[in-house]
Structure 1
Amino acid sequence: MWEFPRTRYADCNGSEASEETEISVNIGGVKHTLYGDVLNRYPETRLAELLNRVSDSAEDLSGLCDDYDDLKREFYFDRDPKAFKCILELYYYGEIHMKRGICPMCFMKEMDYWGIDEDYLDECCRCSLNEVETELAEIAEKVKTILDDLEDDDDDDDARVSRSQRCQTFLWKLMEKPESSVAARVIAVVSFVFILLSSVVMCVGTIPELQVQDDEGHLTEHPTLEAIETACIIWFTVEYVLRLASSSSKLHFVFSFLNIIDFLAIMPFYVVLILTHLGTAMMELANVQQAVQALRIMRIARIFKLARHSSGLQTLTFALKSSLKELGLLLMYMSVGIFLFSALGYTMEQSHPETMFTSIPQSFWWAIITMTTVGYGDIYPKTTLGRCNAAVSFLCGVIAIALPIHPIINNFVIVYSKQRVLETAAKHEIELMALRAREEAQECPEAERRAASVDSSSMWDSAAVSASQSDSFIPLLGETATVSKNQRAQKCNN
């Protein structure tokens, strides 16, 4: 039998509570003997209420415990004994700490069962609870998105929905949901191929051997490469217009980050086309060609379109976003070092007749390539003190770069693992909802159609998260599942 050490308790009038009042509880096979002066410290809890009603009949006590042995006067609870040990800390120490290995959400259910408020949980454990709640909210959002797609499928069959709305929904899934159908997956693959092809054409077009001379003797891209470039731009334009037409919120679509990148990828082509054919009459040819070259450089933005089709690039973006503090520290360290060592290098090398450090701003370049251990050799010190300064600078540069690297890598691992767990948990939740829907199919014909719809959706959702190999499961918050169940019940009643 496991129990905390006995302590005495005095009420507000200074009189001691009787130590003879005690109850025996059996939590999952582990017996505890609890005393009244300890339990009455928190009279609003289940154990204190059980103590005050110990003289009631077994039927009256059935609502407070799972079973009761009148002969042994022992109360039985089918609860987690490890979590109960943490619960008992409240009565003796005034706060609760979750032990390692206990699920925070399950522990919150235990606290709710024993009638203990969340405020008694220590601050360090509450942070862990908030992280889990955030993860569950993200899982619920993923499941809600899938359920919204199912509702759209149901609405497509509704006669009240107009043909234009059905076409818009179909077009949106075709362009934005590669997992929804084979045609959508083919379009995603074709778009990915066009992105790679246009990037290769942009690079190959700069090779002098593959360029041709125009009427004025300037080198331009080969006509074949220009034709391929034009075909890619036409595809990107059609894709952008279709996605814009199928979007429910045009303003949100236009100002989305990935959509801005898509626009920047196709805009230079049309601007160059306008400047080439119409701009020559209003400005000098040299200015037009300079503007054309500047806009052609903007074509490199289309490589970022790969982020739309690559979950790895998206994970890297999230990891860098979560590591902004570490990246800021890295830039601050490097900025201080560059300013310090460039000033020292200029001062120490100024007396040399053949010095390469003509000014402190000009020395910034030497400090950058030295602290980053690149060392091009175009600028180097020639005095003994200058070389010592260079040695110290690249040693400090190695240390400054190495210090924030581990937190950045750790953030990437955390974000990547979290994405895998969330995707797997969302898939398991959808599969569980499909099983529940099939069970309800026997009670309602409408639920039978719903079960088939959820089952088919779980198939394409499973394909979307097929990269995840984890079998871990996180229980959902329950709101989405409850709403979906109520909606099915309402449809069945109607």
Structure 2
Amino acid sequence: MAGDSRFPDVNTDVSEKNEEAEIVVNVGGVRQVFYGDNLNQYPETRLAELVNCLSGGYDSIFSLCDDYDPGKREFYFDRDPDAFKCIIDVYYFGEIHMKKGICPICFKNEMEFWKVDLKFLDDCCKTHLSEKKEELEEIARRVQLILDDLGVDASENRWKRCQKYIWKFMEKPESSYPARVIAVLSFLFILISSIVMCVGTIPDLQVIDPEGNRMEHPTLDSIETACIGWFTMEYVLRLISSPNKLYFALSFMNIVDVLAILPFYVSLILTHLGAKLMELSNVQQAVQALRIMRIARIFKLARHSSGLQTLTYALKRSFKELGLLLMYLAVGIFVFSALGYTMEQSHPETLFKSIPQSFWWAIITMTTVGYGDIYPKTTLGKLNAAISFLCGVIAIALPIHPIINNFVRYYNKQRVLETAAKHELELMELNSAEGKAASTKSEPEDFVREGKEGSFCSSRLKVSHSDTFIHLLSEQKHYRTRLQSCK
């Protein structure tokens, strides 16, 4: 190649200083001219290496670029030109910003190709990158869970397989039709139990015991016992089949399940054994207090309602806004209650006896509830009340919009992640089908041996021409992924 007339000797200009060297870079059809004094600010980057690679021959040149024109001293790269325009800002401004519409993961891959450190990426852009990484990890986790459900490990014993089947049966309604029926039954039992708890407090439906005390109707008590039996069986089966029992026991929703079941058994123990240890009246008071705890079972609905789960997450992400709301209200309550107490002292029939008592008036006024049990009687007091509820409306309205945005953002994100996980599975099925066709032609015996290990997913998933792929599920590093076309 050295003797080819098309390639003049690249060592002829070695004596030229690198600081004065000029190179032309063509990235995806976009030509850029660079000078060595700018590029050598960051000598470890790929562009800086281009300035210094001319003395190393064509092997050194083609190890850095896709093609090279020695006559024009032009280097060709088959890369994203939009991302490249952002990356070269590091040589002029010392920092990099991503343009709107560029996928953060793809931009990170471009930075790695051009050997530019991520520390030059601005903090606002790093936030987008971290969010996209979290989304990828969540999609990979969902795909892996589905694959684990589809797969059957022949090395597992019968109890392990049975445990996995019970876990899918109780925890994943989408896995089969019987599991969906169990989820619907659990939902109905929660509703029935909640209705029985409310109906049991109606005096006309209560009965009188031998001591003259009112108690729930025996029929309602029997329905309550049946519901508790269902909840108990459900919790025990889920606990036995749980892969991580410690995590299961400490989970918030499972603690709610225990709180919904425990009062029944504690009341039963106190009713039969407590009379021997304490007075009957104390036992009845304790039983009544425990029965009130049955309201905790209404939170079990969150297990079967994605809307309640989304609302819970939105409130968690809105702690800052909720804290601001409470702070605004606290300041307003203190100020307006003190003003109201001071202005109403001149009236002989004032209802504002003290500032702490005025707190209640300020709370119901700023929240626009207005029970009317405490109200001002002087002109200045009424003016203070008018200002207080106007300020209360403003204080409550300000943080509402961010909270609603958090709810909508999380709800839409969950739908996108669910769809992305399905696309990943469809692509894996497509790749499996293509690999099957190729292996059938070239190495049929190897495919038969290896196809047994992956047949569980190919027999259950649909085929789709999707360009989706998550490299987190593969040992190899793929740069051309679905994220190249992220919107």
Equivalent runs, 1:334-345 vs 2, <5 Å: 334-345=329-340
What is the deviation of 1:162? 2.2
- Once the two structures are superposed, residues 261-318 of structure 1 have per-residue CA deviations (whole angstroms, 9 ceiling, x without a partner) of 0000011111222222222333333222222221111111001111111111111111
Distance 1:390-1:58 versus aligned 2 partners, 3 A rule? same
Question: Is the 1:437–1:448 contact (alpha carbons within 8 Å) kept by the matching residues of 2?
Answer: no
Question: Is the 1:438–1:447 contact (alpha carbons within 8 Å) kept by the matching residues of 2?
Answer: no
Distance 1:473 1:270 in 2: 55
Distance 1:348 1:78 in 2: 77
**Quick check: 1:481 aligned with 2:484?**
no
Matched letter for residue 388 of structure 2: S
Matched letter for residue 482 of structure 1: E
Calculate the TM-score normalised by the size of structure 2.
Answer: 0.86
What is the deviation of 1:85? 0.9
Structure 1, unpaired ranges of 5+: 1-14, 463-471, 486-494
**Quick check: 1:251 aligned with 2:246?**
yes
Structure 2, unpaired ranges of 5+: 1-15, 440-445, 479-487
- Once the two structures are superposed, residues 125-175 of structure 1 have per-residue CA deviations (whole angstroms, 9 ceiling, x without a partner) of 22222222222222232233334334xx321xx2x4222222212211111
Look up the match of 1:315.
310
Matched letter for residue 473 of structure 2: T
Matched letter for residue 124 of structure 2: C
Look up the match of 2:152.
154
Q: Percent identity?
A: 67
Distance 2:204 2:468 in 1: 58
Distance 1:427 1:103 in 2: 20
- Once the two structures are superposed, residues 305-345 of structure 1 have per-residue CA deviations (whole angstroms, 9 ceiling, x without a partner) of 11111111111111111111111111122122222222222
What is the deviation of 1:58? 5.0
What is the deviation of 1:404? 1.3
Calculate the TM-score normalised by the size of structure 1.
Answer: 0.85
Matched letter for residue 296 of structure 2: A
Question: Is the 1:424–1:473 contact (alpha carbons within 8 Å) kept by the matching residues of 2?
Answer: no
Distance 1:331 1:446 in 2: 64
Distance 1:483 1:88 in 2: 28
| Aligned match for 1:454, one of 453, 457, 463 | 457
Q: Which moved more, 1:400-409 or 1:48-57?
A: 48-57
Question: Is the 2:19–2:40 contact (alpha carbons within 8 Å) kept by the matching residues of 1?
Answer: no
What is the deviation of 1:17? 5.4
Equivalent runs, 1:398-409 vs 2, <5 Å: 398-409=393-404
Matched letter for residue 305 of structure 1: K
Aligned with 1:33: secondary structure?
strand
Equivalent runs, 1:19-34 vs 2, <5 Å: 19=20, 21-34=21-34
Question: Is the 2:314–2:410 contact (alpha carbons within 8 Å) kept by the matching residues of 1?
Answer: yes
Question: Is the 1:438–1:451 contact (alpha carbons within 8 Å) kept by the matching residues of 2?
Answer: no
Matched letter for residue 145 of structure 1: L
Distance 1:455-1:252 versus aligned 2 partners, 3 A rule? same
Distance 1:34 1:336 in 2: 59
**Quick check: 1:271 aligned with 2:272?**
no
Look up the match of 2:443.
none
Distance 2:73 2:387 in 1: 77
Distance 1:18 1:245 in 2: 71
Look up the match of 2:322.
327
Question: Is the 1:136–1:474 contact (alpha carbons within 8 Å) kept by the matching residues of 2?
Answer: no
Distance 1:484-1:17 versus aligned 2 partners, 3 A rule? closer
Question: Is the 2:427–2:468 contact (alpha carbons within 8 Å) kept by the matching residues of 1?
Answer: no
Look up the match of 2:66.
66
Matched letter for residue 453 of structure 1: F
Distance 2:371 2:435 in 1: 72
Runs of 4+ in 1 over 6 A off after TM superposition: none
Question: Is the 2:18–2:51 contact (alpha carbons within 8 Å) kept by the matching residues of 1?
Answer: no
Look up the match of 1:366.
361
Look up the match of 2:116.
116
Distance 1:18 1:393 in 2: 70
Distance 2:173 2:381 in 1: 60
What is the deviation of 1:348? 2.4
Look up the match of 2:86.
86
Matched letter for residue 428 of structure 1: H
| Aligned match for 2:291, one of 296, 299, 303 | 296
Q: Which moved more, 1:309-318 or 1:59-68?
A: 59-68
- Once the two structures are superposed, residues 52-86 of structure 1 have per-residue CA deviations (whole angstroms, 9 ceiling, x without a partner) of 23366656533322223345443221111111111
What is the deviation of 1:375? 0.6
| Aligned match for 1:377, one of 368, 372, 375 | 372
Distance 1:362-1:40 versus aligned 2 partners, 3 A rule? closer
- Once the two structures are superposed, residues 196-254 of structure 1 have per-residue CA deviations (whole angstroms, 9 ceiling, x without a partner) of 11111112222223223333333322222222111111000000111111123333222
Matched letter for residue 140 of structure 1: A
Look up the match of 2:447.
444
What is the deviation of 1:106? 0.7
Distance 1:286 1:133 in 2: 60
Distance 2:337 2:43 in 1: 70
Distance 2:45 2:89 in 1: 13
